[in-house]
Structure 1
Amino acid sequence: MSTATDRIVTSSAGVAPARSGVWARRGPPGWVGLAMALVLGLGACAESVESENVFTDGMYADLEARATETGTQVSATLRVGGATSNTYVMLGGGDRLRVSAGSESVTLATQSTGDVYRYVATLDTNEGGTEVIFDFQRDLDDGAPDSHCTLPAASDITAPSDGQVIRRADDDLVITWDLSAGPDDRLRLDVLGPCFIDLSETLDSAAGSYLIPAGTIESRNDPPAACSATVRLTSESSGSLDPGFGEGGRVLCRQEREVSIRLDP
């Protein structure tokens, strides 16, 4: 059985953050900071903590691979305090995130806006069935070497065609796709554009088609305007998170295909 002493690590500055995600150098952001924000009527602001001050089992991981026709974008976000926490982990002290898929293996680069830290990389492969493995490598503890998911097969859009013009008031918008998605993959349709209210639907991947009846796409403007629109199909499958992330997390692999059309009033 672990003791309180087992759950403590002392930093080089002699300060001891706990495994539960309590750290030194910055005060805990939990209920004290939240209560202050509520009293002031302000939204919570992001803050960060250095990774060498937090054990892996005090972290929540959000890991994603998003494949398109040109490759796969991978991203990772680490938080202290769970999925809704606004405390982000800033990697340092030799900690790094690597991702591998097939014969490719790369180290994720840091992106940050203020105290919001995100880690990204690009892979050449986008082939359905490829396993993507996230490896969190650390000196402080064993890290989390095996979070993984499998890229779904692409659901290529066969209609509408790229550049097709649809009159919203008079024409049905019929989306059709090939049936390469697996039975366990989730399929989502998004129709996006600036002159109408965006549509998002979860589809039966085995159906092969979906109809949006004429007159049901709502305009944002009065009088209605014409604009370019993106029709996007996203196949998604969940993966397996390494148990080293003691606060939990999620691993998702997505495969996106889209066409650009014009929607007239």
Structure 2
Amino acid sequence: NPTVFAGNKLFYEDRGMLMENLLRVIQEIYTSPFNLMLVTGFVLAEWLVAAQYVNRRVHLALDVLGFTAGMLFIPIIYSFLREVKEYAASMNWAAILEGMQTLPAWAKLALCALCIDFTGYWAHRAMHHFPCLWATHRWHHSIEQLYWFSGFRASFFQILILGIPQIVFPFLVFRMTLLEAAIAMGIINFLQFWKHANIRVPWGPLEGLFVTPHYHSIHHKRGQDQHHNFGFMFTIWDRLFSTRLPSRQLARPFAMGLTPPQKTTVWRMILGV
């Protein structure tokens, strides 16, 4: 079998083993030199051009707890998603999907990003609209100070819900190779750091298309403003469906986090129930 390079290890490009191999890639992404450089870059950027003062030590324990829980959740969730993939793969969609599966790698990555972001937008919006789904997202909105590491607070069920399109589109719709899927996961990891970073930079027209830290910070503002700016990668969905709140309309700094009182516990929020 041909091999591809990912995370300093060789993996066989065996489509039957893509899920298992991708899980290993994800685990390696977080321990690779690339991720270390990424973390170092964001730490330096926040030190040099911080948007506002952040006392990381106050919330570090919760942020570490959120990251650790997420790393423990991923293998469990991917086991479930593997079963979903196997069931969906048994359906005869070949004729419908053949054209998309033969696209060049760059086109598959671009279209896959749009599809994941579009479905992620609606899943994210639903989490804010329905009380039962808000329980899955509340842990993420417990963040009171945004910086690169804080964005990893995600409940078990939030990771599961948002993980479905991240499996369906790369593996079932576009039939990505392991290398293409690893690149996609690397981009998702970067965006997780990026949009939660505490960085003050004049973004200019960039914010007209892409989600920036400045743009996403409004989503974490305490109160009704947090029901805006749902996009993960692109701002176009917020523009199309009237959920965009321009950052220039708000005075900074502003309070972030959940509006008290919250009748729940940290452990329930981590699980998303």
Greater Rg by CA: 1
Structure with larger RCO (C-alpha < 8 A, sep 6+): 2
Settle same-fold status: TM greater than 0.5: no
Judging by fraction of residues, say which structure has more helix: 2
With normalisation by structure 1, the TM-score equals 0.25
